[in-house]
Structure formats: C-alpha cells, structure tokens
Amino acid sequence: MNGLSQIIIEKLDENNFHTWKFRIMNFLMGKGCWEFITSDEKEPLLPKTLTQQQIQTNKTWHEKAKKIVDWLSMSVSNSMIVHIEDVKSPKQAWDTLVKMYSINTQACKCNLTRVA
C-alpha cells in the first residue's frame, strides 16, 4: 500500500473531511498523483496503430489511476465505500467524496438552524 496506512490513521467519515482532505491531498501530491485529481492527467489518447511505447504509456496510466482509486477507497470509512465503488477514475472518486461532504455539511447547517 506504499505507506498509506501509516499516513491515514483516521478514515474519512461525515465528521473529519477537512483533516482527511488535507492528509490525502498531501499524500497524493507526494506520490506525484495529484494531477489525476485535478484533471491535468488525462488518459492517453491512442491511435489505431500502437507503438510499444504507447501501449506501455497507456498501461502505466491505467495502473496508476487504479492505484489512486485504491488509496482513496482504503482511506474512507466503510459507510463511504458505496459512493465510490463504481467510479471510473480517481477524479470521479474525489469529486464524489467532495460532493458527499458538501451535502452532509448543508444538512448539518439546516439542522443547526432549526435547533437555534
């Protein structure tokens, strides 16, 4: 797992998004993978006739993307897995988790407003 378990002690849940985001963001930056989240790293477009180098580049890209999704899935609580289990890319997993957090935050604010 390349040290992820040593870095991410507390898995993402509905109460610790900012801490989790800071840690996983820095972890991915340190691994040179943040571009997969910010969309700067796109799947290589391949022509119909491939060179050996193009085949290897595509294979490397897919392996790295899969590893990032794996890291993200290992860093979230079991209750959050259902939201990212069918994603097609690291960016899609990230965006889904961020969206889930913003929905949870809005719901909490509404509840606090009602109580006050």
| Sign of the torsion angle spanned by Cα atoms 98, 78, 22, 4 | negative
41-73 tens-digit pLDDT: 677 777 778 888 888 988 999 999 999 999 999
Q: Enter the tokens of residue 14.
A: 């509905």
Is residue 6 in some structural domain? no
In a domain, 90, yes or no: yes
What is the number of other CB atoms lying within 10 angstroms of the CB of residue 39?
12
Q: Would residue 46 count as lying in a domain?
A: yes
Q: Is residue 19 part of a domain?
A: yes
Q: What pLDDT score does 13 carry?
A: 86
> In total, how many domains does the chain have?
1
> Does some domain include residue 51?
yes
43 φ/ψ angles, rounded to the nearest 5 degrees:
-60, 130
Query: In terms of residue numbers, what domain contains 80?
Result: 13-115
In a domain, 4, yes or no: no
What is the distance between the alpha carbons of residues 45 and 2, in angstroms, rounded to a whole number?
28
Instruction: Tell me if 48 is assigned to some domain.
Output: yes
- For residue 87, the SS3 value is coil
Judged against a pLDDT cut of 90, whether residue 24 lies above it is answered with yes
Mean pLDDT of 1-16: 71
pLDDT tens figures, 67-100:
999 999 999 999 889 999 999 899 999 999 999 8
The answer as to whether 7 is a domain residue is: no
| Banded model confidence at residue 112, pLDDT cuts 50, 70, 90 | very low
